[in-house]
Chains A and B, each alone.
Chain A
Amino acid sequence: MSPRGTEEPAGVNGSASYVYGIVPADVEVEPGTEGVGDPAGQVRLVPFGEIGALVSKVGTDRPLGRPRDLQAHQRLLDQAAAEVPVLPFRFGAVLTDTEAVVEELLKPYHDEFAGTLRELEGRTQYVVNARYDERAILGEVLRENDEAAALRERIAGTSEHATRNERIRLGEIIERAVAAKREADTAAVVEDLRGLCEELAVRDPAHERDAAHVAALVRQDRRAEFERAVDELASRWSGRAEVRLLGPMAPYDFVRTS
Chain B
Amino acid sequence: MTVQHGTPAGGAASGTGLADVIDTILDKGLVIDAFVRVSLVGIEVLTIDARVVVASVDTYLRFAEAAGRLDLSSTEQGLPEVVQGMTQAKAVDQGEPALEAGGDEADDLQMDEPEPARARRREDR
- The residues of A with any CB-CB pair to B shorter than 8 Å are 1, 3-7, 9-11, 16, 19, 21, 23-24, 26-30, 33, 43, 45, 54, 58, 60, 62-67, 70-71, 73-80, 82-84, 87-97, 100, 104-105, 108-109, 127-129, 133-136, 138-143, 148, 151-152, 155-156, 160, 164, 166-172, 174-175, 203-210, 215, 227, 230-231, 233-235, 238-239, 242-250, 252-253, 255-257
Q: Do A82 and B35 form a contact, CB below 8 Å, given A70-B21, A136-B82? A: no
A234 & B24 in contact (Cβ 8 Å cutoff): no
A255 & B45 in contact (Cβ 8 Å cutoff): no
Chain B neighbourhood of A83, CB < 8 A: 1, 117, 119-121, 124
CA distance A148 to B60 in the complex (A): 12
Q: Do A91 and B109 form a contact, CB below 8 Å, given A5-B41, A246-B16? A: no
Tell me the count of chain B residues lying within 8 A, CB to CB, of chain A.
91
CA distance A78 to B68 in the complex (A): 43
A257 & B31 in contact (Cβ 8 Å cutoff): yes
Q: Do A238 and B10 form a contact, CB below 8 Å, given A139-B72, A206-B19? A: yes
A127 & B45 in contact (Cβ 8 Å cutoff): no
A94 & B40 in contact (Cβ 8 Å cutoff): yes
CA distance A155 to B66 in the complex (A): 12
CA distance A191 to B63 in the complex (A): 29
CA distance A83 to B121 in the complex (A): 7
Q: Do A28 and B125 form a contact, CB below 8 Å, given A79-B117, A136-B75, A244-B6? A: yes
Closest 6 CB pairs of A and B: A171-B60, A139-B75, A234-B10, A65-B46, A3-B42, A93-B32
Chain B neighbourhood of A231, CB < 8 A: 9-10
- The residues of B with any CB-CB pair to A shorter than 8 Å are 1-12, 14, 16, 18-47, 50-53, 55, 57, 59-68, 70, 72, 74-76, 79, 82-83, 85-86, 89, 98-99, 102-104, 109, 111-112, 114-125
A152 & B8 in contact (Cβ 8 Å cutoff): no
Specify the chain A residue showing the minimal Cβ separation from B106. Answer: A67
Q: Do A9 and B119 form a contact, CB below 8 Å, given A73-B25, A175-B59, A175-B60? A: no
Chain A neighbourhood of B61, CB < 8 A: 160, 164, 167-168, 171
B29 & A24 in contact (Cβ 8 Å cutoff): no
Specify the chain A residue showing the minimal Cβ separation from B6. Answer: A246
A78 & B32 in contact (Cβ 8 Å cutoff): no
A95 & B29 in contact (Cβ 8 Å cutoff): no
CA distance A231 to B123 in the complex (A): 34
A29 & B82 in contact (Cβ 8 Å cutoff): no
CA distance A67 to B22 in the complex (A): 9
A95 & B41 in contact (Cβ 8 Å cutoff): yes
CA distance A78 to B3 in the complex (A): 7
| Min C-beta distance of A57 to chain B, whole Å | 12
Q: A76-B119, A171-B64, A227-B7 are in contact. List 16 more A-B contacts (CB 8 A).
A: A3-B43, A26-B121, A27-B121, A27-B122, A43-B118, A94-B40, A104-B36, A135-B70, A168-B57, A171-B61, A175-B59, A206-B20, A243-B9, A245-B6, A246-B6, A257-B35
Q: Do A135 and B117 form a contact, CB below 8 Å, given A65-B45, A95-B39? A: no
Contact with A239, one of B20, B42, B79, B123 (Cβ below 8 angstroms): B79
Chain A neighbourhood of B75, CB < 8 A: 135-136, 138-140, 143
Specify the chain A residue showing the minimal Cβ separation from B15. Answer: A244
Chain A neighbourhood of B99, CB < 8 A: 134, 208-209
B24 & A249 in contact (Cβ 8 Å cutoff): yes
